[in-house]
Amino acid sequence: MATPHETPDAPPTPGGASYVREIEPGVQRDFSASMSYGDYLALPTLLSAQHPRSDPPQHDELLFIVQHQTSELWLKLLLHELRSARALLDTDDLAPALKRLARVKRILEVLVEQWSVLATLTPSEYAQIRPFLATSSGFQSWQYRAVEFLLGNKNPDMVVVFDHDEDAHALLTTLLHEPSLYDAFLAHLARRGYAVPAGLLARDVTRPHAPDEGLVDVVAAVYADPPAHWGVYETCEELVDVEDLVQQWRFRHLQVVQRTIGTRPGTGGSTGVAFLRRALDQTFFPELYAVRSRVGG
């Protein structure tokens, strides 16, 4: 690997010596009174947050910890972007809301791809660290649950899982009682004059959204003439992209669990693969899929 002073793609100089790139005169060197890269990112705190518990130490435990910690960082950003997109829809600022959703999609793509790293952990390697996880499980990720709530997969029973964590419980309780991203989109449509069924606008937002044929009719009119409804049409497709990526994440999770522990129960007490497979049947935006059966018919 090249050192910080080498240019890896530069040809060697005569005699075989590598080209050395000198530090430019204007580059900051003294950080005794200035903020450094490590200071800004709080790297001492971040890089000291990995605490393997295996005894004797197992090489692969650091992979398992870093995989899940980085996922939680991306989930933090995902929550930030989704809440902002919802707030922008609340004020009918569709263009910046779409920009937020574009970023949400890129984040989800990273989360999907991350599973390929954890998939390098073989069953034998995982078996060496699994006892040290005790009852901890990804099922207990309150940030993932918050993302699901924001997207509309509401379940009051899930909040109880976080009774031990006051902050997580408070956030999930708040999100449970707030409209989802889809609710915000439907309210935006109603304000623009679309005939969104009144029952959807006054529904109990603590429950999952239920499919509504009247809303399929509204969406079908949009898909019948995209140029006349371009902003709405584009938003529908962005939401479908988001759900597609969430489903890809769920499926890759299932695959990695299956190749690592087979059909054994999860560490948190779930049925493991069977539990994850049922999640694939959960949908956030059912009308945006139902309308596809009508397009061109």
37 is in an annotated binding site: no
Whether residue 256 is annotated as binding a ligand: the answer is no
* Residue 181 · residue 236 · CB < 8 Å: no
Does the annotation flag 196 for ligand binding?
no
Nearest of 92, 114, 94, 90 to residue 102 by alpha carbon: 94
Task: Establish whether 67 is an annotated binding residue.
Answer: yes
Residue 107 assigned to a binding site: no
| 182 within 8 A of 239, measured Cβ to Cβ | yes
Measured distance CA(266)–CA(257) in Å, rounded? 9
What is the three-class DSSP state of 168? helix
Residue 112, marked binder: no
Please give the Cα distance from 45 to 68 (Å, whole number): 17
Query: Is 208 in contact with 279 (CB distance < 8 Å)?
Result: no
Say whether 182 counts as a known binding-site residue. Answer: no
The whole-angstrom separation of Cα 296 and Cα 110 is: 34
Q: What does the alpha-carbon distance between residue 288 and residue 253 come to, in Å, rounded to a whole number?
A: 24
To the question of whether residue 130 is assigned a binding role by annotation, the answer is: yes
> Is 289 assigned to a binding site?
no
Q: Burial-class residue 53 by CB neighbours within 10 Å (0-12, 13-18, 19+).
A: middle
Q: Which segments are annotated as binding site for heme?
A: 253
Q: Which segments are annotated as binding site for substrate?
A: 64-68, 126, 130, 267
Q: Which segments are annotated as binding site?
A: 64-68, 126, 130, 253, 267
